[in-house]
């Protein structure tokens, strides 16, 4: 039995010049009707930083990249794009997309009756 919830990000790596705009893609699959999508980043010398939480009905953002961070959430095509405008040297990091289904489902082993 597989719930098959997953995310995939593109591009895997990107090199940009300071001042360039960057567009990161996250595709997801889930069995949930309403999934929470997250974006985080982790600079090479620091801890993980929360950027964004988005679902069909709400959103929350962190204090990083204020005014330069934009997103496009498309629940029909199951994508969330992250756009960082006018990149700065401090934007250099590993960016992570994450998924959390909102429905609690019990995946117990099937019961066999004789």
- Give per-residue pLDDT as tens, 24-47: 999 998 887 778 899 999 998 889
Q: What are the phi and psi torsion angles at 65 (to 5°)?
A: 60, 30
Q: How far apart are CA 105 and CA 107, in angstroms?
A: 6
Q: Which fold has domain 9-113?
A: Immunoglobulin-like (2.60.40)
Q: How far apart are CA 44 and CA 54, in angstroms?
A: 25
Whole-model pTM?
0.79
Domain limits, the chain:
9-113
Q: How far apart are CA 83 and CA 110, in angstroms?
A: 44
- Give per-residue pLDDT as tens, 42-82: 998 889 999 999 888 888 888 877 788 899 988 889 899 99
Q: What percent of the chain has pLDDT over 90?
A: 41
């Amino acid at each position: 039995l597989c719930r098959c919830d997953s995310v995939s990000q593109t591009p895997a790596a990107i090199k940009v010049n300071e001042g360039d705009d960057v567009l990161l893609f996250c595709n997801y699959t889930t069995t949930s009707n309403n999934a929470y999508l997250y974006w985080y980043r982790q600079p090479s010398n620091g801890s993980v930083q929360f950027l964004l939480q988005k679902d069909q009905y709400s959103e929350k953002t962190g204090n990083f990249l204020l005014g330069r961070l934009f997103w496009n959430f498309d629940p029909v095509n199951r994508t969330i794009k992250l756009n960082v405008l006018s990149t700065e040297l401090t934007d250099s990091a590993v960016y992570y997309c994450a998924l959390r289904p909102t429905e609690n489902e019990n995946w117990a082993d099937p019961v066999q009756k004789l």
